[in-house]
């Protein structure tokens, strides 16, 4: 059985981040462990494929099963890709997983007749079981996390099962992911050394932020790989693939301070040096000065934190369990430890006013942040904020333009602000934050190549709506 795991074509879109698809890499390893060895990964984003190029790959490889990693903005591409696949081979089995199918599994199957299955959440446990069921022509009712149709067309969703022992999953299939083929700074504009590779040491998030859908993939219970297992992967990447920087993509890497300290101490004992950072964000309330200094000594050169708002009222609506006063105190502590810090902010949260957004911009400028990113609020399925919008009638699921839910667009704006007005506020936030001498000087010092400079201009143009 031939299996193709793919990131879909993204025609005409500005791709701000291009990183090796770890989820697909883990799936390959799970399939290989189960005896399915004819597996390929297709990253249409990295390879800059159009639909013609995608068609050529499918015709050449002739897969029996095609699995897609799908974000909400990929839906138009998914529809076209499914049509291409079924035209080439009507018997090919199509599967979709990732954030969007995990958020709207039933809707995904109902909206795409040519999509045979979806996975809700992690699929390392369920995907090999699905393939065995297809080979033996058994039923699908016991495949964990699977969404499927019966013969009458009714949609069924099986209960999710999360891998309990992450060490047993093995490493992602780096022989197929090939980190050296990706941009120097796959996770953003800043890097210290290259090539760069992403890793995940933990999964799950126990917190209840009303805007976040991370738990729909990996659940609310924290699961950790052993420190030895994580360091073995880092050493493999260093020695076999020439990687010189690691980006840790966990939602909560710093949550357990003893685990974090053990990681740093063991990394310091290695006979090689590698830079690393936490670009996806960590919680400020998990950090202290001693731990930050240890992280820096072990090679960490910046952390990102989700600050989200400069309004205490909005922070309460988000269930962030923190105040602006505490945020300011914690940011000062991080800076005093000598650790550069990047702040994430959300603009246009449901119920937010223009005055509160302006307050957030002012608050961001008052903090000693190295960098900041201002994102428009995204109505992500299965989140508490999303459910409130749908239940109140303020937002209708069928009216959401999923194709344009990414950084440079405005999929939603609060009633008191127009979408164009919110986009202008986002532009204003970035301009006011970055057009300051100390910030410009910091950025200039961090630029290490013309490629990186071009990337900065491209990203700036996207955020400013150019």
Instruction: Write the pLDDT tens digit of every residue in 299-344.
Output: 999 999 999 999 999 999 999 999 999 999 999 999 999 999 999 9
Q: How far apart are CA 418 and CA 412, in angstroms?
A: 9
As a whole number of Å, the end-to-end CA separation of the chain is 46
- Looking at residue 416, what is its pLDDT? 94
- Looking at residue 463, what is its pLDDT? 57
pLDDT of 448 over the 80 cut: no
Q: How far apart are CA 230 and CA 434, in angstroms?
A: 36
Percent residues over pLDDT 90 in the chain: 82
**pTM reported for the whole predicted model:** 0.93
For the stretch 227-264, pLDDT in tens is 999 999 999 999 999 999 999 999 999 999 999 999 99
pLDDT of 426 over the 70 cut: yes
For the stretch 209-218, pLDDT in tens is 999 999 999 9
Q: How far apart are CA 342 and CA 279, in angstroms?
A: 8
- Looking at residue 347, what is its pLDDT? 97
pLDDT of 68 over the 90 cut: yes
- Looking at residue 256, what is its pLDDT? 96
pLDDT of 424 over the 90 cut: yes
139 burial level (CB within 10 Å; 0-12, 13-18, 19+): exposed
Average pLDDT over residues 7-33: 86
Q: What is the mean pLDDT of the chain?
A: 92
Domains of the chain: 3-157 (3.40.50.280), 182-463 (3.80.30.20)
**Those residues with Cβ within 8 angstroms of residue 82's Cβ, 6 or more apart along the chain or in another chain:** 94, 112, 114, 115
User: Where is average pLDDT lowest: 10-14, 104-108, 159-163, 296-300?
Assistant: 10-14
pLDDT of 461 over the 80 cut: no
pLDDT of 452 over the 70 cut: no
- Looking at residue 240, what is its pLDDT? 97
Instruction: Give one DSSP letter per residue of 141-208, joined into a string.
Output: TTSTTEEEE-TT--EEEPPP---S-GGGG----HHHH-GGGS-SSTTSS--SSSSEEEE-SEE-----
pLDDT band for position 52 (cuts 50, 70, 90): very high
Average pLDDT over residues 415-437: 95
Written in H, E and C, the secondary structure of 298-342 is CCEEEEEEEEECCCHHHHHHCCCCCCHHHHHHHHHHHHHCCCCEE
pLDDT of 454 over the 80 cut: no
pLDDT of 273 over the 70 cut: yes
Strand order in the sheet with 155-157: 39-43, 3-7, 65-69, 93-97, 117-119, 146-149, 155-157
Crossing angle for the helix pair 324-336 and 289-297, to the nearest 10 degrees: 40
Q: How far apart are CA 340 and CA 249, in angstroms?
A: 17
């Amino acid at each position: 059985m031939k299996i193709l795991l793919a990131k879909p074509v993204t025609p005409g879109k500005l791709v701000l981040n291009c990183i090796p698809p770890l989820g697909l890499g883990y799936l390959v390893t799970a399939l290989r462990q189960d005896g399915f060895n004819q597996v390929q990964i297709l990253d249409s984003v990295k390879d800059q494929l159009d639909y013609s190029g995608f068609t050529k790959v499918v015709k050449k490889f002739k897969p029996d099963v095609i699995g897609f990693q799908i974000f909400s903005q990929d839906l138009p591409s998914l529809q076209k890709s499914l049509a291409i696949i079924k035209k080439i081979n009507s018997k090919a089995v199509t599967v979709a997983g990732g954030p969007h199918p995990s958020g709207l599994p039933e809707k995904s199957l109902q909206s795409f007749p040519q999509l045979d299955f979806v996975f809700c959440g992690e699929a390392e446990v369920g995907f090999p079981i699905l393939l065995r069921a297809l080979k033996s022509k058994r039923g699908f009712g016991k495949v964990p996390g699977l969404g499927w149709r019966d013969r009458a067309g009714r949609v069924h969703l099986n209960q999710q099962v999360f891998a309990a022992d992450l060490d047993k999953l093995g490493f992602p299939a780096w022989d197929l992911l090939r980190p050296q083929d990706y941009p120097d700074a796959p996770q953003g504009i800043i890097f210290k050394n290259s090539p760069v590779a992403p890793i995940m040491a933990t999964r799950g998030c126990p917190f209840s932020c009303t805007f976040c859908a991370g738990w729909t993939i990996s659940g609310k219970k924290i699961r950790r790989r052993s420190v030895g297992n994580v360091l073995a992967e880092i050493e493999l990447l260093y020695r076999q693939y020439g990687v010189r920087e690691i980006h840790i993509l966990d939602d909560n890497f710093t949550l357990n301070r003893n685990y974090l300290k053990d990681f740093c101490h063991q990394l310091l004992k290695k006979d090689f040096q590698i830079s690393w950072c936490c670009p996806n964000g960590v919680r400020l309330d998990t950090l202290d000065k001693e731990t930050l200094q240890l992280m820096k000594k072990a090679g960490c050169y910046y952390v990102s934190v989700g600050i989200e708002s400069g309004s205490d009222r909005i922070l309460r609506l988000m269930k962030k369990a923190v105040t602006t006063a505490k945020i300011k105190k914690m940011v000062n502590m991080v800076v005093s430890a000598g650790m550069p810090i990047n702040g994430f902010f959300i603009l246009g949260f449901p119920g937010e006013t223009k005055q509160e957004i302006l307050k957030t911009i002012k608050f961001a400028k008052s903090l000693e942040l190295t960098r900041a990113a201002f994102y428009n609020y995204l109505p992500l399925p299965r989140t508490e904020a999303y459910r409130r919008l749908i239940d109140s009638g303020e937002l209708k699921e069928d009216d959401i333009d999923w194709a344009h839910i990414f950084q440079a667009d405005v999929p939603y704006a609060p009633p008191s602000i127009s979408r164009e007005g919110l986009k202008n506020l986002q532009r204003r936030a970035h301009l006011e934050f970055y057009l300051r001498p100390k910030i410009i000087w910091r950025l200039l010092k961090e630029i290490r190549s013309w490629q990186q400079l071009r990337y900065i201009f491209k990203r700036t143009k996207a955020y400013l709506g150019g």
